[in-house]
Structure 1
Amino acid sequence: MTGQSINRQSKRVLVFGASGTIGQAVVRALAQGGYEGVGVMRRSADNEALAAELDRDGCAVHFADVTDRPAIAEAFARARPEAVISCLASRSGAPRDADRIDFQANLDVLDEAEAAGVRQFVLLSAICVQKPRLAFQHAKLRFERRLQVSGLTWSIVRPTAFFKSLSGQVERVKAGKPFLLFGDGELTRCKPISDADLARFIVGCIDDPARHRCILPIGGPGPAISPREQGAMLFELAGKAPRFRSMTPGLFRLIAALLSPFAPISDWMAEKREYMRIAHYYATQSMLVWDVEASEYSEDATPEFGRDTLQEHYRYLLDSHAKPEA
């Protein structure tokens, strides 16, 4: 297969992981961009309601369990797509879940795409895989390598932090509670990107040859921001005096160490240990491009895209009394 673009007027794109907030945004961005997007999601009461909502926006939905290989094959047979976008990601990040979704489900989608003669595959990955220490990061990298040696034209998108991942303390601030920090709140920085901007970037990979056969780190507009700066922004928008409470990220490492002896004999313990390792990673690692030569995270090397800002997002949540996305 070659990397030639197809006329978007006749291009049908199959989107796996369409029930997630980013997957939903991708399906809508496809419709807005003139493509025929078909979202694939597991059947449930919530997803049936979501499918009806997407249908009103001109977006088609196909129900399938991505852990069921024949169901994936049926999705391809019905949609007959020319391109695939995968927004699949494990919910927990635990080893079994990561292997089942981040690697195997994506691999099954890729194999069925190749069998169906699909020419293009756009993968939503994560910027944290550049410094892999966790099970889900290794699972994502295993699939990235498999995708890169496939016969399809591929694009691997590695976004920084999402707005929704930085919104968990909005309700705390509104309630007058302190903003929780790890260390001094300056251990990490990121360039968060909105779902809508990220979706537009992902869809833009389809017909942009400059993004073909590329690993694409991407952040939102503006300078990188630390957790302390996020908290200060929230307090200012809420009209409240800043209040912070510090926690040590070493606590996560300690709990993980205490759970380690039991992990080989208990799946539950193994999952809890991995959760602690994930928490420690995000408390101590920036979501920016890693400069290998300088051995540090680089704000300047992290590309920016879009127009939505975290400040606007926070203002919306505070003004509308909307609850942050989970």
Structure 2
Amino acid sequence: MKKILVAGATGYLGRFTVRAMKEAGYYVRVLVRSREKLSRPGPFDSPVISEFVDEVFVGDVTDEASLVDVCEGVDYVFSSVGITRQKGPLTFDDVDFLGNIHLLKEAERCGVARFMYINVYGAEHCPSALTQAKHKFVQELKKSAVPWVVVNPTGYFSDLTEVLDMAKKGRAYLLGSGRNKMNPIHGADLAAVCVDALDQENAVLDVGGPDVYTYREIADLAFDAVGKRPKRTILPKWLGGAVLPLLRVVNRRQYDLVVFFFYMMTHDVVAERYGSRHLGAYFLEESSIE
């Protein structure tokens, strides 16, 4: 039985990946900061994963000493480690870059057969500190002695829950023209792609979901899900450019996240299509949850 270490196991994608890896027949070791989270529901209805875990290793990627032997006896490493909406003093560079560097060093020392990393589609072009930290790690991963696979998802259904929340309130605010396109993917579909790609070597996979939408169409799907007539307000691109410098002074962490979403909403983010789950059905399921 092949062994895999899943780092970022209690995050949105990590939970789907733990379940998918176990169901595919892998021995699953998880790296977590808290055992208790394994028995709790995850973000955006990602699964409870305690029953899919064979071994728990408690450690923190930002503390290199806590990772000693985390990869011992492991064939594959999967990492979706990164800051999303977490609060605290840690930066994207601390976690998305240095945290993964610490994990990679341990993977190299233990001689793992593959290191799979979840990046972001178009990370090299987006000016956000979030994507730049991820891109910087990818460059180091490609130079490492460990064979690697980099997966670049366009975006998750869960990222678009904010559009659904706006629809519930009666109006969706879109940046730019609202006509830029993307094909987001459900976490379970992306996890399945990751399972299938584990045996690839030194490969980059750009991954999107089965359907391509404009942001106007995404908003309309959200309004359909909540049973309201679509009301969209299109905020011009120049307005975002005017507000961002002020936000950078007031709240740097929030600034970097807004830069990321601003970039995504004002560019086409479309990759090869995978999966079978559809955003409209996801919105309907989410809208029924109180």
Coarse TM-score class (shorter-chain normalised): 0.7 to 0.9
Is structure 2 residue 66 aligned with structure 1 residue 71? yes
For the pair 1:214 / 2:209, whether they are aligned, the reply is no
Gaps of 5+ in 2: none
Aligned to 2:264: 282
The counterpart of 2:109, out of the listed 103, 108, 115, is 115
Q: What's the CA shift string for 1:50-98, capped at 9, x where partnerless?
A: 6994222455432211111121114234xx2111001111235999611
Q: Does 1:82 align with 2:75?
A: yes
Matches of 2:220 and 2:40, distance apart in 1: 37
What's the TM-score once normalised by structure 2's chain length? Answer: 0.88
2:150 maps to 1:181: no
- Deviation of 1:38 (Å): 1.4
- Distance 1:250-1:278 versus aligned 2 partners, 3 A rule: farther
SS in 2 for 1:181: strand
Code of the residue aligned with 2:203 in structure 1: it is C
Aligned-pair RMSD on alpha carbons?
A: 2.6
Alignment correspondent of 2:142:
148
Q: Distance in 2 between matches of 1:246 and 1:255?
A: 15
**Does 2:280 correspond to 1:311?**
yes
Alignment of 1:40 onto 2:28: no
Pick from 196, 204, 210 the counterpart of residue 188 of structure 2. 196
TM-score (norm 1): 0.79
Q: Corresponding residue for 1:61?
A: 56
Deviations 1:239-281 (A, max 9, x none): 4322222223433322333366xx5xxxx65445434433432
CA contact (8 A) 1:55 1:61 kept: no
SS of 2:213's partner is: coil
By how many angstroms is 1:206 displaced? 1.5
CA contact (8 A) 1:54 1:60 kept: no
- What pairs with 1:158-177 in structure 2 (closer than 5 Å)? 158-175=152-169, 177=170
The question of whether the paired residues in 1 share the 8 Å contact of 2:38 and 2:48 is answered with no
Aligned-residue offset at 1:15: 0.7
Tell me whether 1:24 sits opposite 2:15 in the alignment: yes
**Residue 133 in 1 paired to residue 121 in 2?**
no
* Secondary structure in 1 matching 2:276: coil
Cα 1:97–1:202, aligned 2, differ >3 Å: closer, same or farther? same
